[in-house]
């Protein structure tokens, strides 16, 4: 995920973001939390596929660059993968096309009903409620409510619930604390090396927007 965010940064700075598939609005992964299903603005399977690139499903749509939709559930304070699906286009009787979703889970995990996502540490973003603003780019659309869930090596640590304004304030405060860390300095240097005329303000604004994806823990109370 970090590598993909860096790619988005490069595309933004050179002004071709609209021409690249990766920034088309994406089908989200799904998660069941406290018995309710939510969309995910996070992709907990990506560390697995980053480590095993040959296993990655083929991209089937510009709206699904990762090639799959993962289905997750928090069970007994642990994050599990319960299914993976991919769409195929099926021609209808009138010559129109519809999407048919097929499970590919058993291809990857043939002997397990569910898999603990112990390779993932980070903050899951669960938007819900009313749509505030639709943006046809990645997970950029905003909603009036958010759950943020901190996961460490597949273990549930903490959940926080924010309305939209509180969510924005959280990101600003999280960014302020993140700037004090060595990880931030390394990330800033990495993005600066790209040097596509983004400049200091642009780099900081980008990191602030995606700070939840770049930080694995809540840095503020």
CA 158 vs. chain centroid, Å, equals 18
Give the pLDDT confidence score for residue 11 in this predicted structure: 44
Higher pLDDT, 141 or 89: 141
Mean pLDDT of the 61-87 span = 94
Kind plus residue range of the DSSP H or E element containing 3: helix 2-13
Instruction: Please state, rounded to an integer, the average pLDDT across all residues of the chain.
Output: 87
Task: Give CA–CA dist 212/200, Å, rounded.
Answer: 20
Task: Give CA–CA dist 70/124, Å, rounded.
Answer: 13
Return the bridge partners of 38, or none: 31
pLDDT tens per residue across span 161-174? 999 999 999 999 99
Task: Give CA–CA dist 75/220, Å, rounded.
Answer: 26
* 75 within 8 A of 28, measured Cβ to Cβ: no
Q: Decide if pLDDT at 33 tops 90.
A: yes
Give the pLDDT confidence score for residue 62 in this predicted structure: 81
Q: Which tokens in the block code for residue 190?
A: 């990495």
Task: Give CA–CA dist 39/29, Å, rounded.
Answer: 6
Task: Give CA–CA dist 10/191, Å, rounded.
Answer: 8
Domain residue ranges of the chain, discontinuous segments joined by +: 2-214
Q: Decide if pLDDT at 200 tops 90.
A: no
pTM: 0.85
Report helix, strand or coil for 113.
coil
Task: Give CA–CA dist 190/185, Å, rounded.
Answer: 9
Distances, alpha carbon 195 to alpha carbons 5, 8, 146, in Å = 15, 13, 34
Return the bridge partners of 145, or none: 128, 163
Give the pLDDT confidence score for residue 197 in this predicted structure: 58
Give the pLDDT confidence score for residue 13 in this predicted structure: 46
Higher pLDDT, 6 or 24: 24
Give the pLDDT confidence score for residue 182 in this predicted structure: 96
Give the pLDDT confidence score for residue 2 in this predicted structure: 60
Give the pLDDT confidence score for residue 3 in this predicted structure: 56
Local confidence band at 219 (pLDDT 50, 70, 90 cut-offs): very high
Measured over the CA atoms of residue 103, residue 83, residue 4 and residue 165, the dihedral's sign is positive
């Amino acid at each position: 995920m970090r590598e993909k965010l860096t790619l988005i940064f490069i595309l933004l700075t050179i002004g071709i973001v609209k021409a690249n598939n990766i920034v088309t609005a994406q089908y989200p992964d799904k998660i069941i939390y406290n018995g309710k299903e939510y969309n995910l603005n996070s992709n907990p399977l990506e560390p697995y596929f980053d480590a095993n690139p040959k296993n990655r499903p083929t991209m089937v749509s510009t709206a699904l660059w990762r090639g799959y939709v993962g289905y997750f559930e928090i069970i007994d304070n642990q994050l599990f993968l319960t299914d993976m699906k991919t769409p195929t286009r099926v021609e209808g009787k009138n010559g129109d096309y519809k999407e048919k979703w097929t499970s590919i889970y058993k291809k990857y995990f043939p002997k397990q009903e569910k898999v603990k996502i112990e390779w993932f540490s980070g903050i899951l973003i669960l938007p819900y409620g009313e749509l505030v603003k639709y943006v046809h780019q990645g997970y950029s659309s905003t909603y009036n409510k958010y759950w943020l869930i901190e996961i460490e090596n597949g273990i549930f640590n903490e959940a926080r619930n924010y309305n939209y304004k509180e969510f924005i304030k959280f990101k600003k405060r999280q960014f302020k604390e993140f700037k004090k860390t060595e990880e931030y300095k390394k990330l800033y240097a990495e993005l600066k090396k790209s040097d596509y005329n983004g400049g200091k303000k642009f780099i900081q604004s980008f990191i602030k927007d995606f700070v939840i994806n770049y930080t694995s823990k809540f840095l503020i109370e």
